[in-house]
Amino acid sequence: MSRYVLAIDQGTTSSRAIVFDKDYTPVATGQREFTQHYPASGWVEHDPEEIWDTTIATCKEALAKASATIADIAAIGITNQRETVVIWNRETGKPIHNAIVWQDRRTSDLCMALKERGLENLFTEKTGLLLDPYFSGTKISWLLDNIEGARSDAEAGKLAFGTIDSFLLWRLTGGKVHATDATNASRTLVYDIHKGEWSDELLKILDIPISLLPEVRDSSADFGVLDPSLLGGSVKITGIAGDQQSATIGQACFTPGMMKSTYGTGCFAVLNTGDTPVASQNRLLTTIAYQLDGKPTYALEGSIFIAGAAVQWLRDGLGIIKEAAQSGELAAKADPEQSVIMVPAFVGIGAPYWDSKCRGAIFGITRATGPKEFAKAALESVCFQTRDLLTAIQADFETEHETVLRVDGGMVASDWTMQRLADILGVPVDRPKSAETTALGAAYLAGLYVGFYPSPDEFAKSWRRDRQFSPQMPEAERDVAYALWQDAVHRTLTNRK
């Protein structure tokens, strides 16, 4: 009898593998950071081979820590950084270039040119997305146009495109399976989320051969069998979901109106809207939350590009902290009389502004401003951006129930940050007992398919709260602080009216 499920959690700054038991408890974890490449201003790349190497290394590490072999694993699930693009040669399996990361802004001009042709509404109607460099489609076009021989090889059927899940799946199955799931497909800018198929019309506009693209399957499905040479045996791969959708599943947000927000490198708030896609009037994204038994469940999503990355900047850029955990301790000691506002638009700003060319700024600095105030401003910037998203989501989707935000990700370990978040939002914030919600979502999808885990309704009963943070800040104080934030953002935008 298999005792565990193995979840691969391939993120923006590290690869992880986690072994989960029958009770959804993480038994062992392997983690490896990998290199971030910045070849030009606003450009971000990863080495796919390094991603692959760290993925296999962490799987071996997690299994060893759990005193398990692949024979103890019922199934493997994959969750991944979304929108990041890899194109590889089908014969050799070698990437033609570094992966272009979701944060990358190199296709800003292409997106602007498409907007000027009046095409954004067409893309939005079909995909639920906006014309922004964030998404995969324009990155694919850039690679085909800028890597020597890529376009001719693509048209000859020699190349394969994938988001990170597809690339890992190809390697894990020994090149036998080229597939993705509906959640990752829904982030490519070329997938019709209403018809559930690649859009010939959008592919033609972006000049992308359909032969490049993977087959789209359910999030819980048969994705092939692990090559036994990799981890010492074979096991089915039966779950795939993009990281934010996987966290939505891990947080058991299966009911329309339920909402989660994940605080990693970026921040992503996802609201389940059920079997009906809701067209946002506030520049949010309409996306697929998960797809089971051929039926998609839709969501509204707000995307913040810089969340935990602002804390990394405090550590690596300014050198005012040595560990991320120190940021909350430092912020708690900040001068309450100073109103320092940081707009962390290091790579542009996401929802609901969508300005890829604006850059970060800090306002309200005085001679007395120091590391404590910078730490507070960095953490508060995440809270203010979340309020931007919550305001937009509530305008798009009315619910009779009180909004309670379920949170996860590295930043939620800070009590100060979570209390500030509740104060700025004016709604309760629930932190779950399980800190591994993203990986748990992938594990659950994999285990569901092979019968290791029960139905979504039963799974939802297992969710447990660690702590609820209730708003304590007076409403007037909250509104003044938010007004300062809105003014600061307006000053940084290049597309302001």
Q: What is the pLDDT along the chain (497 residues), one digit of tens a residue?
A: 789 999 999 998 899 999 999 999 999 999 999 999 999 988 999 999 999 999 999 999 999 999 999 999 999 999 999 999 999 999 999 999 999 999 899 999 999 999 999 999 999 999 999 998 989 999 999 999 999 999 999 999 999 999 999 999 999 999 999 999 999 999 999 999 999 999 999 999 999 999 999 999 999 999 999 999 999 999 999 999 999 999 999 999 998 888 899 888 888 899 998 998 999 888 899 999 999 999 999 999 988 888 888 998 989 888 988 888 888 888 999 999 999 999 999 888 888 888 878 899 999 999 999 999 999 999 999 999 999 998 888 888 877 666 778 998 888 888 999 999 999 999 899 999 888 899 999 999 999 999 999 999 999 999 899 999 999 999 999 999 999 999 999 999 987 65
Q: At residue 343, what are phi and psi to the nearest 5 degrees? A: -105, 100
Q: Alpha-carbon distance 68 to 373, whole Å?
A: 47
- Helix axes of 108-116 and 136-146: crossing angle, nearest 10 degrees: 110
Amino acid at 405: L
Closest CA to 303 of 386, 367, 372: 386
Topology (CATH level 3) of domain 252-432+464-497 = Nucleotidyltransferase; domain 5 (3.30.420)
Residue-wise pLDDT tens digits, 239-266:
999 999 999 999 999 988 888 998 888 8
List, for residues 374-397, the tens digit of each pLDDT value: 999 999 999 999 999 988 888 888
How many Cβ atoms sit within 10 Å of the Cβ of residue 426? 15
Whether the full predicted model's pTM is greater than 0.85, yes or no, is yes
State residue 321's pLDDT score.
Answer: 86
For the chain, which residues make up each domain, given as ranges? 4-243, 252-432+464-497
Question: Rounded to whole angstroms, how far apart are CA atoms 448 and 339?
Answer: 49
Q: Do domains 4-243 and 252-432+464-497 have the same CATH topology?
A: yes
How far is the C-alpha of 448 from the C-alpha of 198, rounded, in Å? Answer: 26
CATH of domain 4-243: 3.30.420.40
Backbone angles phi, psi at 60, to 5 degrees: -65, -40
Residue 137 CA from chain centroid, whole number: 16
